[in-house]
Amino acid sequence: MDRERPLFPKLFNHKNNKNSDPPLKEEIMHLLIEGISNLERGLRILDRNLIITKNPLDILAVDILGELVIIELETGGDEVVILRALEHFDWILNNLNSIVQKYSREKIDITLAPRIVIIAGNFNEDFVRKLSYVNTTRIELYEYELKNEEGISRLNLKPYALSVLSNKKIELSRPALEDLINFIQPLPLRQLCQKIISEVRKKHIGALVDTSRGFIEVQDKGRILLRIYPQNHFFWISFSPRGKWQGIKIDNMKGEEEILSRLPNKNN
């Protein structure tokens, strides 16, 4: 069933004398930064125009849970913003420890994969369809509308529900466990990933595997035992053997037995 896109109720205010000029990215960016907490309660900006790849990351933020948020602003309708966002996602996932050190004053949870927020004037059907092919992580879309009333610019954001544009419904399905594991290209690493999941489920009879958030999460009676973030040539594993979460990047088969011995048992 198709759902209407809900209206984002909060406005970002900024004095501006431009009435007819097309909105420039810097103008939109200024309004967005000024009212970032209205985009999401508790959202805090860590950096903007961050040079980590050949394309600068517009805004790197952290949410109230300590989860990193990649915010990309597109004012020209360029679909390359998808690749830009994924490029930044890949870099951050590969350099989480450096990010934590750089922003040591913030409580960043390395057990959570970054999420992506793309903000644009509008999204057409082609854009949403292409996004659905790569949305193995959480990608949120917002459409902006810039209004000028009595010399005050107001930036209105509307969450985009990834539903319909014309009469065609485009849905993002939950990725299958097999698809996430097969995303890891080296066969030995794929097999190790499968073995880790199997070993945890043997120790916790009845444990469930959830892939709804775009990564692998093993749960036992509501308790999160393990998270695995598959990438092309490695995977990132997070677990808490003694109540404190820790993450390990696994890109080779060295230390396989040690990793398996550290997996959460029934009593930890």
The enclosing domain of 40 has a CATH number of 3.40.1350.10
Tell whether 4 is covered by a domain. no
Q: Are residues 211 and 88 in the same domain?
A: no
Q: What is the pLDDT of residues 133-186, one digit of tens each?
A: 766 557 888 888 887 777 777 788 888 765 433 333 334 356 788 888 988 989
Tell whether 102 is covered by a domain. yes
Q: Are residues 230 and 98 in the same domain?
A: no
Give the domain-ending residue among 169, 203, 234: 169
Tell whether 3 is covered by a domain. no
Q: Are residues 114 and 215 in the same domain?
A: no
Give the domain-ending residue among 152, 169, 186: 169
Q: Are residues 29 and 129 in the same domain?
A: yes
- The C-alpha atoms of residue 161 and residue 73 are separated, in whole angstroms, by 18
Contact 119, 90 (CB under 8 A): no
Tell whether 2 is covered by a domain. no
Q: Are residues 26 and 67 in the same domain?
A: yes
- The C-alpha atoms of residue 225 and residue 221 are separated, in whole angstroms, by 10
Contact 68, 92 (CB under 8 A): yes
Tell whether 268 is covered by a domain. no
Contact 198, 207 (CB under 8 A): no
Q: What is the pLDDT of residues 60-101, one digit of tens each?
A: 999 888 889 999 999 887 788 988 998 999 899 888 888 989
Query: How many structural domains does the chain have?
Result: 2
Q: Are residues 49 and 146 in the same domain?
A: yes
Q: What is the pLDDT of residues 22-52, one digit of tens each?
A: 457 888 898 898 888 878 888 999 999 999 9
Q: Are residues 186 and 152 in the same domain?
A: no
Domain ranges, residue 194: 177-261
Q: How many CA atoms lie within 13 A of 35 on its CB side?
A: 17
pLDDT number for residue 241: 55
Q: How far is CA 162 from CA 4, 73, 81, 129, in A?
A: 10, 18, 16, 9
Answering whether pTM is above 0.85, one says no
Q: Are residues 126 and 162 in the same domain?
A: yes
What is the 3-class SS of the chain, one letter each residue? CCCCCCCCCCEEEEECCCCCCCCCHHHHHHHHHHCHHHHCCCCEEEEEEECCCCCCEEEEEECCCCCEEEEEEECCCCCCHHHHHHHHHHHHHHCHHHHHHHCCCCCCCCCCCCEEEEEECCCCHHHHHHHHHHCCCCEEEEEEEEEEECCEEEEEEEEECCCEECCEECCCCCCCHHHHHHCCCCHHHHHHHHHHHHHHHHHCCCCEEECCCCCEEEEECCEEEEEEEECCCCEEEEECCCCCCEEEEECCCCCHHHHHHCCCCCCC
